[in-house]
Amino acid sequence: MSNRRPLIAGNWKMFKTCSEAVETAGQLVKLVAMASDIDVMIAPPFTALAPVSDIVRGSRVSLGAQNLFWETEGAYTGEISPAMLVSTECKYVIIGHSERRQYFDETGETVNKKIKAVIKNNLIPVLCVGESEKERESKETFSVLDKQIKKGLEGFSSDDLETLVIAYEPVWAIGTGKTASTDQAQEAHQFLRSVLEKSFGNMLAKSIRILYGGSVKPNNIAELMAMPDIDGALVGGASLDPETFSKIVHFKK
């Protein structure tokens, strides 16, 4: 057993108006009030961050954002700065989600700039990595993960990355109902830890939390969490319903 504290994170993606987000967050706060020894985070859309912040303040639930831009301020229409997130009492920021890479042309370089901005503003980066179905079938999983980690974390020292969280999300398992088998997930998590160890040393590799994402549900979370290198989950669809998400939070090993 590791001494890494589990983290169950909910990525709400482009769902929920402000009032819907406030209602969901309010229900969730009550449902996970007794969840000790585990961290819980939700990432609502930008428009709902401020009102949801008021709801989760002082509760077991932390606030996360789904993205940011790396500049402090400026003429960047439609973008959100780190300071704007800090002002809503955000704690975590999801960076490099496969949907951002796929639809918005995020690259290793832009992911790297965003992580720099997150760390500089004392926020916690949740770096997403993962291979496509085609890449897995071509046996490129490890080379893809290796490249995404090295590009994303280029130029950082182990001291910079003390709070870093990594989320392994096989692209073929996101929103598809397909889940990596526990062995596939563990194998990828173990590999990611070995890449971190080679680049940043054993201490950091052992302390970093690596979450699994990809069709996580109440009925598969305990099995995933039993794996030695899986430290939590980044939950998509199942995080939109407070009852379902709270069941994932309250998993029993």
Rounded CA gap, 151 and 72, in Å? 22
Give the 3-state DSSP-derived string for 187-221, with helices as H, strands as E and coil as C: HHHHHHHHHHHHHHCHHHHHHCEEEEECCCCCCCH
With cut-offs at 50, 70 and 90, classify the pLDDT of residue 218.
Answer: very high
Residues 20-56 pLDDT 10s: 999 999 999 999 999 999 999 999 999 999 999 999 9
* Beta-carbon-side half-sphere exposure of residue 46 (alpha carbons within 13 Å): 11
In this structure, are strands 232-235 and 7-11 parallel, antiparallel, or unpaired? parallel
pLDDT for position 252: 79
pLDDT for position 253: 62
Residues 160-206 pLDDT 10s: 999 999 999 998 887 777 778 999 999 999 999 999 999 999 999 99
Quickly name the fold that domain 7-249 has.
TIM Barrel (3.20.20)
Q: Domain residues of the chain, as ranges?
A: 7-249
List Cβ neighbours of 188 (8 Å cut-off, separation of 6 or more). Answer: 141, 145, 168, 170, 180
Q: Which pair of structure tokens corresponds to residue 76?
A: 């960047």
pTM, rounded to two decimals: 0.96
Nearest-10 Cα torsion for 214, 217, 219, 221: 60
pLDDT for position 231: 98
Active site residues: 97, 169
Residue 247 amino acid letter: K
Other beta carbons within 10 angstroms of residue 47's beta carbon come to 12
**71-89: b (≥16 Cβ within 10 Å) or e:** eeeeeeeeebbbebbeebe
With cut-offs at 50, 70 and 90, classify the pLDDT of residue 216.
Answer: very high
Residues 56-102 pLDDT 10s: 999 999 999 999 999 999 999 999 999 999 999 999 999 999 999 99
